[in-house]
Amino acid sequence: MNEPTKEQLLEFDEKILPIVSETHDASYRHGAYITQVFHRISDNTFWKVLYSLSTDGEEHGLAQGVYKISQVYPKQIIMTVYE
């Protein structure tokens, strides 16, 4: 199975490769670490992408080709809360 290309991820076409999850980790000294999960609709696969993003916009790991990508699978978690 071929992973999505950097260009496909950056194009962000909601009908082809929508983002289904996104988190920001502010522990990066100059900005944030971004984790996004994309759903490739054509083959119903999910891809997690990790990259850094600086607050001044000069560094964008995904655009610069410095990122990690891996295939992931959805997992339903049931949580009990008391109110």
In total, how many domains does the chain have? 1
For residues 70 and 11, the model is more confident at: 70
Q: Which domain holds residue 12?
A: 6-72
Whole-model pTM over 0.85:
no
Residues 8-29 have pLDDT tens digits of 888 877 888 999 999 999 988 8
Assess contact for 37 and 48: CB atoms under 8 A.
yes
CA distance 35 to 4: 15
- pLDDT score for 16: 86
Element (H or E) spanning 7, and its range? Answer: helix 6-11
Residue 20 counted as domain residue = yes
Structure tokens that stand for 32 in this block: 């944030």
DSSP class per residue in 32-53: EEEEEEEEETTTTEEEEEEEEE
Residue 83 counted as domain residue = no
- pLDDT score for 5: 83
Residue 56 counted as domain residue = yes
Residue 40 counted as domain residue = yes
Residues 42-67 have pLDDT tens digits of 999 999 999 998 888 777 888 888 88
Residue 60 counted as domain residue = yes
Assess contact for 9 and 65: CB atoms under 8 A.
no
Residue 36 counted as domain residue = yes
